[in-house]
Structure 1
Amino acid sequence: MRRAFALAAQGPERGINPRVGCVILSPDGRTLAEGFHRGAGTAHAEVDALSRLAPGAASGATAVVSLEPCNHTGRTGPCAEALIAAGIARVVYTVADPGEASSGGAERLRAAGVEVAGGVLVADGEALLDDWLVAARLGRPVVTVKWASTLDGRAAAADGSSQWITGPEARADVHRERAAADAIIAGIGTVLADDPALTARTPDGRPLPRQPRPVVVGHRPVPDDAAVRRHPLPLTTLPGDDLAAELAGLHREGVRSVFVEGGPALASSIVRAGLADRLLVYLAPALLGGPRTALDALGVTSIDEAIRYRFTEVVPLGADLKITARPEGAR
């Protein structure tokens, strides 16, 4: 199975489809073929591995796969059917496919007389699939809410100035985080006030190879001359009336992770709605005081109603701290 994980890791880290690896073993344990998924529209890992064998060579063999074989027809056919047709006798996998359309491969295999064993090295399998798996279970992208603040929780000074609360190391890390997301979301208030480009850049301003899709939330129009309109990817605008439904719509369009960097109003709306899967806070050793807090009202009126998160990582970045937190009970 660990070899299947290593194969899967060769596939694209982000995308509509998961990273999957497959190893075909002979009845005596020899490796007959290997395969992995190279991205949307290409052969799935099981089919990729089977394609490397002569007809009939997989009869009686075992397929070790890093995700339950799919059971639906999309751009490619169902892997469960391909394994059955090849004469595979046993399938071993880690995590069950949570997709509404693609799940059920294990049941289909068993119905055809194939021996199936799931749940092998589940923690490793979930770590490999990461955001894709969580997004599939939620039916929406994984949401990271980011802000930079001082020790006293201020995101700007009383006059509204905020550049720069954190140092260059933290700012460079923010751009790496942006590049890792499928989309970056800002509120229209932030766009009108700060005119952000919503791109991922190097410290000297050069664009990183991978860019997040820009999304602006709010009813007011984005000006024609706004920097975000010069983004290399098309701009998406959302009203923000039903954030859960709008995020689900982005998921249907292939967005599996979003990076919310849109000011306290939007961040607070996301947190208040229970949609923040990850908080990313860059904490500067400074004090500003005043009214410009990192979050607005969350509907919490007493300490018993506090929205609890747990720290999963605290990393020094220059003079600042990068703090990652997830909701209590989340993975």
Structure 2
Amino acid sequence: MIRILTTLILISGLTLPSMGLSAPSRIKELADVRGVRENMLIGYGLVVGLSGTGDTQQVLFTNQSISGMLGRLGVRVSPMDIRSRNVAAVMVTAQLPAFVRSGAKLDVNVGSIGNARSLAGGTLLMTPLKGPDGQVYALGQGSVQAGGFSAGSSQGASIQKNQPTSGRVPGGGIVERSVLPNLNAGRLYMDLKEPDFTTASRMVKALNDYIGTDDVARAVDAAAIEITVPADKADNVVAFLGELETLRVEADRRGRIVINERTGTVVAGADVVIRPVAVAHGNLEVSITPQNFVSQPNAFSQGGQTVAGSVNDINTREEVNPVIAVPGATNIQGLVTALNTLGVSARDLITILQAMKSAGAIDADLEVM
């Protein structure tokens, strides 16, 4: 069946008043202190103790890794002589928080890179975790908690839940090298999570009003704010930043509608403005049904043959819906309520929203996932 959707958009030249500001947010939710962030770590390791669910002999790098590991422990064995299915090669990742000291523990994630069927019940051997500079910042080791399980029989029946080839080692990482941002340079920078000129200006005003001067904070651009640490706060920058993070600012966010065409999901923010518009939505359904037939020759005919064939039966049906006038609304709820009278589905709503955006009836960014 072929489904054809038609959408007609008529725009009137009316305007709406701007929306009110949203609730104030803490600066902590709007911006990050530059340099105070997590750092990604990665490493290559082996998970042992698997119950026959590890990598097969076709995974050459697993056998080479086993041979190299045993060689460092004083056991000499050729990679070609290894027949174990209890070991899996994995990639190990972790997040190194800022200001963490040597000896602190981290959660470690592991994922198979061979053809292992499951990591359940395995143990991650000591794995160096390196940063982008090649330095070792942590070591990972411990029992793997797999995120799922799988089971099968020799007849081919199998069952699986979630992903058994990846897992987590809670507290399995130990920090060996610290990453300490420098907060004593005299100047600090705050980077906005969502760059915006209006929000940056409001943050600068809130910071200067709190400190009582106009030369402490300034906006470098829409994404960065420079803060000069006052002389009386230089000895305790941590407390100074703690005070600034709790200040509240009314962020100015752009209207945005996020559409997921695969699932038919539509999510809209409160700042979306719908201008007055008229919508006509109709559905044209075309059904093509094959009809099989058999043609036989007449009785006692000479040289006749029985022939099978097929013809297509084509039918069309079009729904006639009235034109709905959608008044100006300050949020997406008014539009959805009006379109419900047309009986549109979630996927049809996506098509209508895209057409309205093209026609200029929606004052918001349309993001299609």
Scaled to the shorter chain, the TM-score interval is under 0.3
In proportion to residue count, which structure has more strand?
A: 2
Name the TM-score, length of structure 2 as normaliser: 0.21
Structure of larger gyration radius = 2
TM-score (structure 1 length as normaliser): 0.23
Bigger share in helix: 1
- Greater relative contact order, per chain length (Cα 8 Å cut-off, separation 6+): 2
